[in-house]
Amino acid sequence: MNKNVLILCTGNSCRSIIAEALINSKLENIQAYSSGVAPSGRVNSNAQKVLEFYGEWRGEYHSKMLDTLKDIEFDLVVTVCDNAKETCPIFNKPIPTIHIGFEDPDGKEYQEFEKTYFEIKEVLLPIVKRELIKEI
């Protein structure tokens, strides 16, 4: 039985997309989705580039509003930026929510996106796995 996790940030163009892709690629029985509290409407080209380089990119990844995910029942919400933490929406039912902040690489060189990729892989993935697998 799959568990669903929502990765939430402000623009849904870098950190949350990278986290969504890594979770979907690396963690079994967990399906990740990402959204922004104020989505940019685009995936940062360097975020896509780093995911393509490591074989994690899927064509369906895109910047989206939370409303587009309203029919999914989430088992966990993870905010990856302070703004998303402070403006995290209220859901119809109680959902465990945790905050794991990462520096925004937007507007920086490609190497910062690689750094963010590895930070998310090393920090966020074990926490998400621990939070959700314990319930399976």
Under CATH, which number does the domain 3-133 receive? Answer: 3.40.50.2300
User: Domain-by-domain residue ranges, the chain?
Assistant: 3-133
How far apart are alpha carbons 109 and 92 in whole angstroms? 39
Active-site entry in 7, 9, 50, 84: 9
Neighbours of 128 (CB within 10 A): 25
How far apart are alpha carbons 102 and 80 in whole angstroms? 6
Phi, psi for residue 95 in degrees, rounded to 5: -130, 130
Active-site entry in 81, 84, 100, 128: 81
pLDDT-above-90 percentage for the chain: 74
pLDDT, tens only, 71-122: 899 999 999 987 666 766 666 678 888 999 999 999 999 999 999 999 999 9
- Known catalytic residue at 14: no
Mean pLDDT of 38-64: 95
Give yes or no for residue 26 having a pLDDT over 70: yes
